[in-house]
Amino acid sequence: MRTTERLVLRPFRESDLKPWAALNADPEVTRFIGGPLSREECDAVAEAVNAVYEREGVGFLAIERRADGAFLGAAGLTREQWYPEDLQIGWRLARQYWGHGYATEASAAWLDHAFTTLALPRVLAVTDTPNVRSIAVMQRLGMAFDHTAVLADEGVEFDATIYSLTAQAWRVR
């Protein structure tokens, strides 16, 4: 578990599953990740995330607002199929929490963990090229454009934009 000024980043709880499923059922939230997910898929993701966190100390953990305990979404470090040597930073928040800096704040805490605790040399962020909101978060985090690629997720190709951040750049920012 990690905390920031406004947030708690922690494993998923049973009480998170209903709002987690609701945000993943929102077509606007899931527009760039292949579309809405079923409740069963969401429950399986939460269970898998908790297992990875327990085993490896990283994962796509729940974001809770400290002020009132509201479940906002998830963020964290994951290992994805496209670049298995690197950890990837990612976030997904319920739409009503967009535009408040929560994704940036949660991700910054994870980047600090990546570069200080884990001593990683770099972290990547991958998004669909048209996802300008995520690209803006990457830029606010101090990440730099790395490259574009055509990637596939469950056999479906998409145009991806990849940003990266090195430990050195994190320390001097």
Mean pLDDT of 60-80: 97
Number of domains in the chain: 1
Domain span at residue 58? 2-172
pLDDT tens digit sequence for 78-100 = 999 999 999 999 999 999 999 99
Region of residue 59 (left: phi > 0; alpha: psi -120 to 50; beta: else)? left
pLDDT tens digit sequence for 34-52 = 899 999 999 999 999 999 9
Measured CA to CA, the distance from residue 38 to residue 44 in angstroms comes to 10
CATH number at residue 84: 3.40.630.30
